[in-house]
Amino acid sequence: MDTLLSGLYWTLATALLAWIMALILGAIIGTLRTLPNRWVVRLANAYVELFRNIPLLVQMFLWFFVMPELVPTAIGDWLKQLPNAPFITAVLSLGFFTSARVAVQVSAGIGSLSRGQKMAGTALGLTLGQTYRYVLLPMAFRIIIPPLTSEFLNVIKNSAVALTIGLMELTARARSMQEFSFQVFEAFTAATIIYVLVNVVVVNLMRFIERRVAVPGFISGGGK
């Protein structure tokens, strides 16, 4: 149990930090994809296509094995000697990979809003930035809470890929248990149950948040 709890700690730490990073970057990139400046939109779309279309496993290998060789030698040596290099790499890889997916959700949420909301912000004298901050983004995030929940669950599950670069998260701990005890069924069954329990907690937490921030009649009655 101590081994599994240690793995759970690293799984949750990796997933939470990666999710915070993905949510911040995704909100920024997703917003940029809806701006009237076409060059900004193209750059934001390029970011999304780059990180969304490269497999997560490949990205982790690139960050962990290739990046230290591309930067100057002193920086590369420093990166290799970091005490928690697999953890930092996993957070960065998961964060960038998931941020591209979150950006698509954010831009879709903004695009689903009626033009009248943006025009209303302009009529009130709000700048474009203020319109996004006070009108569009709050309503868009209310709409995309369900898909964001799925992305959060994916971050938790995708953290298992980090075992390939040496991070001893939950799946890696279960694997090490079965290697020295030969109890494959017990080790992975316990890990599976822990994953299910964590995901159930996340789903219920996100449902609670969705109910708390819901605007009565907005989605069911139609945002347009």
What's the rounded mean pLDDT across residues 131-160?
91
8-state DSSP, 215: -
In this predicted structure, the answer to whether residue 150 has a pLDDT above a threshold of 60 is yes
In this predicted structure, the answer to whether residue 49 has a pLDDT above a threshold of 60 is yes
Residue 222: per-residue pLDDT: 43
5-14, 30-39, 118-127, 213-222: range with lowest mean pLDDT: 213-222
At 84 the three-state DSSP class reads: coil
The mean pLDDT of the chain is 89
Both tokens assigned to 61: 């290998």
Spatial distance between the Cα atoms of 44 and 37, rounded to a whole number of angstroms:
11
In this predicted structure, the answer to whether residue 80 has a pLDDT above a threshold of 80 is no
CA dihedral 149, 145, 221, 31 (to 10 degrees): -140
Spatial distance between the Cα atoms of 82 and 190, rounded to a whole number of angstroms:
31
pLDDT exceeding 90 applies to what percent of the chain?
A: 54
Between 181 and 93, residue with greater pLDDT = 93
In this predicted structure, the answer to whether residue 112 has a pLDDT above a threshold of 90 is no
How many Å separate Cα 159 from the centre of its chain?
11
Q: Among 73, 79, 69, 94, which residue's Cα sits nearest to residue 164?
A: 94
Residue 187: per-residue pLDDT: 85
In this predicted structure, the answer to whether residue 64 has a pLDDT above a threshold of 60 is yes
Handedness of CA 51, 56, 59, 64 (dihedral sign): positive
Spatial distance between the Cα atoms of 187 and 177, rounded to a whole number of angstroms:
6
If pLDDT is split at 50, 70 and 90, which confidence band does 223 have?
very low
In this predicted structure, the answer to whether residue 40 has a pLDDT above a threshold of 90 is yes
